[in-house]
Amino acid sequence: MTMPAARGRIRIFATYTGLVAHAQFMRAGLNHHRTIDSPMTELLDSLLRGSAVTARFSRDATLQGMLDFEVALAAAEAEAGLIPAAAVAPITAAARASDLDWAALRDDAASAGNLAIPLVKQLTARVKALDADAARFVHWGATSQDAIDTGLVLQVRGALDDLGGDLDGLIRQLTEQVRQHRATVMVGRTWLQHALPITFGLKLAGTLDALLRARADLANVREQVLCVQFGGAAGTLASLGTQGADVAAALARHLGLSDVATPWHGQRDRIVRVGGWAASLTGSLGKFARDTALLTQTEVGEIAEASGPGRGGSSTMPHKRNPVGCAAILAAAARTPQLVATLFAAMQQDHERGLGTWHAEWETLPELLMLCGGAAATARTLVDDWTVDTARMRANLEITHGLIMAEAVTMALGEAMGRLEAHRRVEARCRDALAQQRHLLDVLREDSDITRILSIEALERLMDPQHYLGAAETFVSRVLTLADAATPISQPGRKSQ
């Protein structure tokens, strides 16, 4: 043997030895993993994903969704005469997620490339134990993506039921709060600074209006997304001859889903549609939580989250009353944009089935929906239990000693001297009030150019926040009218928190 050839064999042997050692290490790691009861993320479920939506994406729910597809497929194909009618009962009896070896499914998915392949293998074995002939017809004419996508759609349907229930509940709560506080005057803030008086009712009406839009959008999302996936190996259902389209329609009927014009293995706009809706809703809830958290600051003190043993405390500061509900909602709102971005990126599927891009959806969409569900449920608890300090809201209007009413005086003066000159003069008086640490009204009273146009009584009225709310009441009334007219979404199987 020549020296170069010997070196080559040595390299090959060394590489092989290294691969064997790595495989042994990985097997040891997998065996160790089997001793772990659950993922670390479950420790945070009650904080970040504490709604009924989370159960929709449990291990068993994920497997059962695919099994439900297999049962419905068998029923549809039996109706079409493609498989024996006697095969349906054994397939149905064997299709229980609780009976599957989930640890084997997890491990086998690593080599199979998806969960459906080992699932169908286990299901077939279980059917064979009941009826050997029926086992021949498990997964007849289908492909893995049919089972996985349709199973996911069934999970999404349940999640949207739960989200719709919490959304309806939150809308009811906010509608009541808007009515209660439609005349509660408070500071409006822009760029985190005092701007003009608004009402707390108007502030909440903005959130309510956004949630009403989300509820209207949900009906459209359900219509477009809750549909069957059934295209077979390459989207033609050639394995079913001329009966493919009829079986697809029957399959959809058995599952309570819509049929589609064409299989959507490579067209992922439906996944993005539901993910985008959930991300948008979570963003609206995040905006609501951000404002609420800012109003709970010690220096502001206009809202307080519920307190109690173990809630909102500090490990070292006994006096703390932290806005933990707001924190959970904001955490969800911070994560969902990146999750929905992954779904958008995964739209670039390869030909008739995506390589890796399809796989990227599997954990992303469930996590997005679970975070959205957690945020919605937390928002309901937040509104139900919060304390609104209307007296503090009124008191905070006076923190700037009348400066918050400077625009009201400017607009009144502008009718006589023009807006720009009025703005210049009132701005100068505002600087005087700040420098002298005096109330703006007192400084305005001493300006003869101003009092020649506006009487002391007129100035006093202009400095009252209650008299400078503009169309706030009109806007509140419009949103309440929309809320009263909107019909709550009612879907079978909904679970409300």
Q: What are φ and ψ of residue 139, in 5° steps? A: 65, 30
> Do 162 and 53 meet the contact criterion of CB atoms below 8 Å apart?
yes
Q: In this structure, what token pair is assigned to residue 54?
A: 């989370």
**Cβ neighbour number for residue 183 with a 10 Å cutoff:** 14
Active site includes 314? yes
Can you tell me the distance from the alpha carbon of 252 to that of 243, in angstroms, rounded to the nearest whole number?
Answer: 14
336-to-224, 276, 342 alpha-carbon distances in Å: 21, 9, 10
Q: Where are the alpha helices (DSSP H) in 34-142?
A: 45-48, 52-56, 59-79, 88-94, 102-112, 116-130, 132-135
> Do 177 and 480 meet the contact criterion of CB atoms below 8 Å apart?
no
Q: In this structure, what token pair is assigned to residue 285?
A: 């809830």
**Cβ neighbour number for residue 131 with a 10 Å cutoff:** 18
Our CA dihedral for 218, 220, 223, 227, rounded to 10 degrees, sits at: -70
Can you tell me the distance from the alpha carbon of 171 to that of 206, in angstroms, rounded to the nearest whole number?
Answer: 12
Catalytic entry in 314, 419, 455, 490: 314
Q: In this structure, what token pair is assigned to residue 423?
A: 């703005």
- From the list 149, 320, 348, the residue with the least C-alpha distance to 230 is 149
Catalytic entry in 353, 392, 438, 494: 353
Active site includes 353? yes
Give the number of C-alpha atoms closer than 13 A to the C-alpha of residue 337, restricted to the C-beta side: 7
> Do 178 and 168 meet the contact criterion of CB atoms below 8 Å apart?
no
Can you tell me the distance from the alpha carbon of 366 to that of 148, in angstroms, rounded to the nearest whole number?
Answer: 13
Which amino acid would we find at residue 403?
A: L
Q: How far apart are the first and last CA of the chain?
A: 76
Can you tell me the distance from the alpha carbon of 250 to that of 229, in angstroms, rounded to the nearest whole number?
Answer: 12
Q: Which residues are catalytic?
A: 314, 353
